Chain A
Amino acid sequence: MIPGFGISLGFTIVYLGLIVLIPLAGLVLRSAGLGWSELYRIATDLRTVNAIWLSVWTAFIAAIINVPFGVLVAWVMVRYRFPGRRLLDAAVDLPFALPTAVAGIALTALYAPNGWVGAYLEEWGIKAAYTPLGIVIALTFIGLPFVVRTVQPLMEDIDKEVEEAAATLGAGRFQTVRRVILPSILPAVITGFALAFARAIGEYGSVVFIAGNIPYVSEIAPLLIIIRLEEYNYAGATTVATLMLMISFALLISINWIQAMTRRRYGNG
């Protein structure tokens, strides 16, 4: 065993415990104090179900949209040299750095019926702001850097020689992409997808400005948590939070599993 294992593992456990596990355990404990029947009632309440489902499906669509476009952005950043590339590269991180409320307000201004984009969409009869579509737009915005930043380093690692070798062995351009490049970045793409997805499920700040927040229609789960808190209903709030936690955890575990499968199949990572 490499020396330092004990101390670094100890540190890892303490750190994870302090930062992640203890707060989450507190959350679970608080909702566990409710009793199963009450927990079940809140969890199956139509409003809770609607809100969680809305958060999950909008987050999923947004993450799916970010996969091809995020990979494309990463590809452009890695493979081409052009003026303003560094600037563009930095712009990718803006959704990370921007306070989410600022993003939400900016997007709403843009997509509202009197905004630049919203006015144009309105002519086509599409309402973006104050509908679930608006939620997807906000979540796509905040999710983009996750895909780009996880895929980019792997792309940089692919040697040109590998592609040239594929070409000399008779692979067409499309075959090279499909059989050589995609498999090597696939685990990163999945990780990027998972991060964007998980981040989007819990997103609150940017969404509340653009969503419209109508119960059963455009009320996301994090907003429902805030609403329960405003009712001084800590138990209700923690129950919804615990449900979201369980869903996110289940999703991350299954995505990790898929990733492990792809790694095994393509034998890298």
Chain B
Amino acid sequence: MRIRATAVALAVALGLAAAPVAAKDIKLLNVSYDPTRELYKDYNAEFAKLWKAKTGDNVTVEQSHGGSGKQARAVIDGLAADVVTLALEGDVDEVAKGTKKIPANWVQALPNHSSPYTSTIVFLVRKGNPKHIKDWDDLIKPKLQVITPNPKTSGGARWNLLAAYAFAQKKYGSEEAAKDFVTKLYRNVPVLDTGARGSTTTFVQRGIGDVLLAWENEAFLAINELGPDKFEIVTPSLSILAEPSVAVVEGNAKLHGATAVAKAYLENLYTPASQKLIAEHYYRPAKPETVDPAILKRFGKLELVNIRDDFGGWSKAQPKFFGDGGIFDQIYKPGN
């Protein structure tokens, strides 16, 4: 008995002594898009602490940010990302197709279609809302100027066009009317910046336009940074659920011996603590029921359509709206 207890104690002591020796330094590369910078900075620190407590290993997550499509192409061209956290499902699909390092059914790998956080498209207007912009149909009024990035170069801006389209289709009842609506809307766009941050600058710093179509989280950040005395958020009656996608690039993670940690890194995004962090960064949490309602109060209530049920998924929406000769190109066809 005594011998056995001693043996156990010895084994535990040995195990404890051995633990620091076995502690590994793991590097993880998360290739993401632009506006997640602040969120992942905080999340990486939290995750490193958690992982250290759980396994004793040190994990350093490196971040790469840029336009979502550009980031996807970088991974396709060989950037050794362990996880991708991009703005569009379509971009992750391209990585899966182009590298074969992500399984084709990656969307099912994590809850909520692999979208741990979502956002939506809202309006940022100048303080006092001088043009009385309440909903999408106010945006096609003559002489009104709308600022939104080029959906061809900005993955995030594709949601803007789809949100407007969904609104018009619901309100006027036909695809033709919806096409006509978005055509009128883009006629009111004086500048098509190449990225979302560029459009924010055009609206905020250059003073151009009456309304900026923005991701909700970006709109909140803009107000935080520039002061609520200059701008305000208008939540339209209907918008689209923007679902950024996350996936483990299994081929790369395996190569780096980081499969377990990469999976845990993404799974951990769904825990209550992470969901709270997400809400604090103005993204809508995928599991709002786990988050303090006081934090959720900041998000305006509105009807949300989503890409799967209302547009048949990205694989259909992408070529139809944003492909060569698609609906966006038709808007600018001369004589249209």
Write the residues of chain A forming the contact surface with B, with a CB cutoff of 8 angstroms. 46-47, 105, 108-109, 112-115, 129-130, 208-209, 212-216, 223, 226-233, 236
A236 to B193, CA, bound (A): 21
Indicate if B152 sits at the interface (CB-CB under 8 A).
yes
Q: How far is the CB of B148 from chain A (nearest CB, A)?
A: 12
A208 to B150 alpha-carbon distance, docked (Å): 11
Query: Does any Cβ of A come within 8 Å of B317's Cβ?
Result: no
The interface residues of chain A lying within 8 Å CB-to-CB of B48 are none
Chain B residues contacting A232 (CB-CB under 8 Å) are: 69, 73, 94
- Determine if B324 and A231 form an interchain contact, defined as CB atoms under 8 angstroms apart: yes
Q: Return the 7 tightest CB-CB contacts between A and B, nearest first.
A: A215-B332, A112-B206, A227-B152, A213-B192, A114-B207, A230-B69, A212-B191
B198 within 8 A of A: yes
Q: How far is the CA of A226 from the CA of B192 in the complex (A)?
A: 14
- Which residues of chain A are near B67, meaning CB under 8 Å? 230
A23 to chain B, nearest CB (A): 14
| Interface assignment of B322: CB less than 8 Å from any CB of chain A | yes
B129 contacts partner chain A, Cβ-Cβ < 8 Å:
no
Q: Shortest CB–CB separation between residue A252 and chain B, in angstroms? A: 28
Q: Is the CB of B207 within 8 A of A215?
A: no
CB distance from A8 to the nearest CB of B (A): 35
Count the B residues whose beta carbon is within 8 Å of the partner chain — how many? Answer: 27
B residues 290-336 touching A (CB-CB < 8 Å): 322-324, 329, 332, 334
Q: Which chain B residue shows the least CB distance to A104?
A: B198
- Is residue B205 within 8 Å, beta carbon to beta carbon, of the partner chain? yes
* In contact, B194 and A223 (Cβ under 8 angstroms): yes
With a cutoff of 8 Å between Cβ atoms, the chain B residues found around residue A216 in the complex are 332, 334
Which residues in A have their C-beta under 8 angstroms from that of B208?
112-114, 130
**Across the interface, do B323 and A231 meet the contact criterion of CB distance under 8 Å?**
yes
A229 & B207 in contact (Cβ 8 Å cutoff)? no
- 20 A-B contact pairs sorted by A residue (CB < 8 Å): A47-B332, A105-B201, A108-B206, A109-B206, A112-B206, A114-B207, A115-B206, A208-B193, A209-B193, A213-B150, A213-B192, A214-B191, A214-B332, A223-B194, A228-B324, A229-B69, A230-B153, A231-B323, A232-B69, A232-B94
Contacts of A46 in B (CB 8 A): 334
Least Cβ–Cβ distance between B319 and chain A, in angstroms = 9
B228 interface residue (CB < 8 Å to A): no
Q: Give chain B nearest CB distance to A128 CB in angstroms.
A: 12
B293 CB to nearest A CB, Å: 39
> Does the CB pair A213–B207 fall under 8 Å?
no
A229 to chain B: which residues have CB within 8 Å? 69, 73
Give residues 60-116 of B contacting A (CB, 8 Å): 67, 69-70, 73, 94
Pick the contact of B194 from A130, A208, A231 — CB < 8 Å? A208
CB distance from B162 to the nearest CB of A (A): 16
Which residues on the A side are within 8 Å of B323 (C-beta)? Answer: 231
Q: How many angstroms between the C-alpha atoms of A228 and B332 in the bound complex?
A: 16
Q: Check B198 against A209 for contact (C-beta < 8 Å).
A: yes
Q: Is the CB of A231 within 8 A of B152?
A: yes
Cβ distance B180 to chain A, nearest Cβ, rounded Å: 18
**B190 is an interface residue with CB less than 8 A from chain A:** yes
**Smallest beta-carbon distance A76→chain B, Å:** 34
A34 to chain B, nearest CB (A): 13
B324 and A213 contacting across the interface, CB-CB below 8 Å = no
Residues of chain B with a CB closer than 8 A to A223's CB: 153, 194
Q: Which of A109, A115, A209, A216 has the most CB of B within 10 A?
A: A209
Q: Which residue of B lies closest to A46 (CB)?
A: B334
Please give, as numbers and ranges, the residues of chain A lying within 8 Å of B70 by CB-CB distance: 230
Chain B residues lying within 8 Å of A236, measured Cβ to Cβ, are 324
Contacts of B322 in A (CB 8 A): 231
How far, in angstroms, from A212 to B147 measured CA to CA in the complex? 11
A109 to B202, CA, bound (A): 9
**Nearest A-chain residue to B331, judged by Cβ:** A215
What are the residues of chain A within 8 A of B152 when measuring CB–CB?
Answer: 227, 230-231
In the bound complex, CA of A208 to CA of B154 (Å): 13
Take A46-B334, A115-B206 as given contacts and tell me if A227 and B150 are in contact as well, using a CB distance cutoff of 8 Å: yes
Interface set, chain B 223-241, CB cutoff 8 A to A: none
Q: A208-B194, A229-B69 are in contact. List 18 more A-B contacts (CB 8 A).
A: A113-B206, A114-B207, A115-B206, A130-B191, A208-B193, A209-B198, A212-B191, A213-B150, A213-B194, A214-B190, A214-B191, A216-B332, A223-B153, A230-B152, A230-B155, A232-B69, A232-B94, A236-B324
Q: Is there an interface contact between A227 and B153, defined as CB atoms closer than 8 Å? A: yes
Which residues of chain B have C-beta atoms less than 8 A from A47's C-beta? 329, 332
Q: Is A212's CB under 8 angstroms from B192's CB?
A: yes
For residues 171 through 196 of chain B, which have their beta carbon under 8 Å from a beta carbon of chain A?
189-194
Residue of B nearest to A234 (CB): B73
